[in-house]
Structure 1
């Protein structure tokens, strides 16, 4: 049951855009179908379509109330109203070497070198509550840390565990196969994130080509994104290569598949390519607040292709890029911090090919997505 919590007030979302954007046609997994074996089989088939074609999909009826979600948005909003001087006390030691729990300030990347425009993305990452991580937070977070813990635990039991069960069913594996790689009590680099994109002027957006963040993939298993109506997220369809907008849907969360699942399935599960664009003109004047959860396999898990799946064997997905290259397959911990160190590189100029195609581990070069 949700824990008793102090008053936070109410959170009001901005109106959705009225522009006619080219929205992606994404599938929805209705978790009310989980109650029957037939329903689970149906959801597993739907999930396969999602992870093979788009990578992004919606989940509804996941047993977490909108009120609880709104409280997390409000907590994030109040955190970002904290003075910068206070937030900077929570920058992680070792940020330049890949540390990421705590506050990551804006301005580490140069988006447009002629004018010197830098990124305006701030993040606050809260790690797992399994005893492996210190929980020292600014006052507004600390006062509500029990609520954040309960929320994070609910995401695991109500959303992520069912997704892993459905993926196992789809791959003709025991239903708990992927659960064993994502045990909450074991150390992994999962985290809850409050994320703020501060707006640019219309003139600045033109200089940026109306793209705030280049196309990329996430490094873990699943990323959960809670509905917020400022349109900015775009995804690249794996089949057509087209970029389309992701529409905020009432009563849903948006999920994308990530690198670790792609490596574990030899590329059968595709890691979603996505980017952040400038919002449409009728939302260009507001900041964008995000609420996300990043799940990753346990740190000790080696990201070798699963050999037990009849589906992967039949369809020829038996090796990932590391295995094909003959290089050592990293553990999730090695993979996480190689990617994070690369992502956190300071004062990089966007479009620098030496950075964007850097080799971060033997057998793995990063990729550029428009």
Structure 2
């Protein structure tokens, strides 16, 4: 719960939910309130998570422990680094993205190349889960106790049960994945506030309305706290793009490259993108709260071959030999530094796809 002496800050007014008839993805809904009931119930949830991750790579979580009112406060806080910090002060807290492969701090607008010379209109402010690990803008400092509490909740009460369920889905001990994501471990797991701003009609035309190209996330698990502006799409197995529907006070969960590697391809790192919102939401900004989870820096991203499930189904290896697989820190730094900055090459086999090679792996970007 927010601390009793929470500082007063401006209230963020979210956009109304779209009334457009969109082609939504049919994603599973996992209620974490059932996690702590019985071992039998956890087993059922684990099978649901395994099916969702192996088929779609995305699912919703409800019953995560924060009320709608508490989440409204979190979105009020999320807007502060954008609306209450001057441009000059933002520049003092820029992330060393290209130099150090770290997102910690600000990414200002027009840093990522989208397409045809168009740069992004997105600002992010990224906070390591240890909020004391670096300095923050003045407006955020009184809010750090609440931010710390929220990061801990996301890690321990949301990520923790999900990792346990995913380990059970692999028929491994519950702690297998949890032990690779220690709260006090050395990793880059972080909270991200992200704000998309409307673009010009010219930029929309040049990019075919794509705001962020289709991509996989870098880490193991991404938690996206649902917000009302429709813009997120996932690439379905039939090759079509499906919208992700807003569910009040839900979390959208997806796996990233690192989990794909660890699970031998069972838990899919699904391609997803961000596009221009539907007409009735285009005048609004889109404010997001994410918790990007990385395995501990020294975790080798080789398949968990002891899994009886993988032994039955087979392992999809991204590296010919396990010893060739990078550790989490190597993969994270390489992909972070390259994102939105690389010169991509056209795929010779697929249209509307560009690619780059990172750590020996072909990384694809979809228009």
TM-score (norm 2): 0.92
- Does the CA-based 8 Å contact 1:221-1:257 persist in structure 2? yes
CA positional deviation for 1:108 = 1.6
| Alpha-carbon distance between aligned partners in 2 of 1:123 and 1:95, rounded to the nearest angstrom | 15
User: Is the counterpart of residue 263 in structure 1 residue 252 in structure 2?
Assistant: no
Question: Which moves more between the two structures, 97-106 or 8-17?
Answer: 8-17
Distance 2:271 2:364 in 1: 11
Structural mapping, 1:92-171, within 5 Å: 92-93=95-96, 95-113=98-116, 116-129=117-130, 134-171=133-170
Match of 1:80 in 2: 82
Q: CA RMSD in A?
A: 2.0
Q: State the shift of 1:181 in Å.
A: 0.7
1:18-33 to 2 correspondence within 5 Å? 18-33=19-34
1:48 aligns to what? 50
Q: After TM superposition, give the deviation of residue 10 of structure 1 in Å.
A: 3.2
Shift of 1:357: 2.2
| CA separation of 1:220 and 1:94: change in aligned 2, threshold 3 A | closer
Shift in Å at residue 9 of structure 1?
A: 4.4
Say if 1:264 and 1:320, in contact at 8 Å, map to a contact too: no
CA contact (8 A) 1:30 1:60 kept: yes
Tell me if the contact between 1:98 and 1:344 (Cα under 8 Å) persists in the aligned partners.
no
Residue in 2 that maps onto 1:209? 208
Aligned partner (choices 306, 309, 312) of residue 308 of structure 1: 306
Q: Do the aligned residues in 2 keep the contact of 1:95 with 1:344 (CA within 8 Å)?
A: no
Q: Deviations over 1:268-288 (max 9, x none)?
A: 110021000000111111111
Q: CA deviation at 1:33?
A: 1.4
Deviation at 1:134, TM superposition (A): 2.4
CA contact under 8 A between 1:75 and 1:140: conserved in structure 2? Answer: no
Instruction: Say if 2:3 is the partner of 1:3.
Output: yes
Task: Could you tell me which runs of 5 or more consecutive residues in structure 1 were left unpaired when the two chains were aligned.
Answer: none
Q: For residues 344 and 89 of structure 1, do their structure 2 counterparts lie closer, same or farther at Cα, with a shift above 3 Å needed?
A: farther
Q: In the alignment, does 2:345 pair up with 1:367?
A: no
Q: Which moved more, 1:6-15 or 1:226-235?
A: 6-15
Which residue, out of 36, 57, 77, partners 2:59?
57
* Contact 1:222–1:294, Cα closer than 8 Å, also in 2: yes
Residue 153 of structure 1 and its aligned partner are, at CA, apart by 0.3
Give the direction of change, closer, same or farther, for the CA distance of 1:148–1:87 in structure 2 (3 Å limit). Answer: same
- Stretches of structure 2 that go unaligned for 5 or more consecutive residues are 348-352
Q: 1:252 and 2:250 equivalent?
A: yes
Moved more, 71-80 or 185-194: 71-80
Following TM superposition, by how much is the alpha carbon of 1:94 offset from its aligned partner in structure 2, in angstroms?
Answer: 5.5
Q: Render the CA deviation track for 1:322-362: whole Å, top value 9, x for unaligned.
A: 135x77110000110011111152xx67x65499422221x
Separation in 2 of the partners of 1:45 and 1:173? 13
Q: How far apart, CA to CA, are the structure 2 residues paired with 1:3 and 1:210?
A: 41
- What does 1:350-361 align with in structure 2 at a 5 Å threshold? 352-353=345-346, 356-361=354-359
Contact 1:224/1:293, CA 8 A, preserved across alignment: yes
What residue is the counterpart of 1:229 in the other structure? Answer: 228
Where do residues 317-328 of structure 1 align in structure 2 (5 Å cutoff)?
317=315, 320-323=317-320, 328=324
Q: How many residue pairs end up in the alignment? A: 359
Deviations 1:18-45 (A, max 9, x none): 1101111111001121112222111111
Aligned partners of 2:97 and 2:336 also within 8 Å: no
User: 1: CA distance between counterparts of 2:307 and 2:323?
Assistant: 23
Match of 1:292 in 2: 290
Structure 1 residues 185 and 327: CA distance shift in structure 2, 3 A: closer
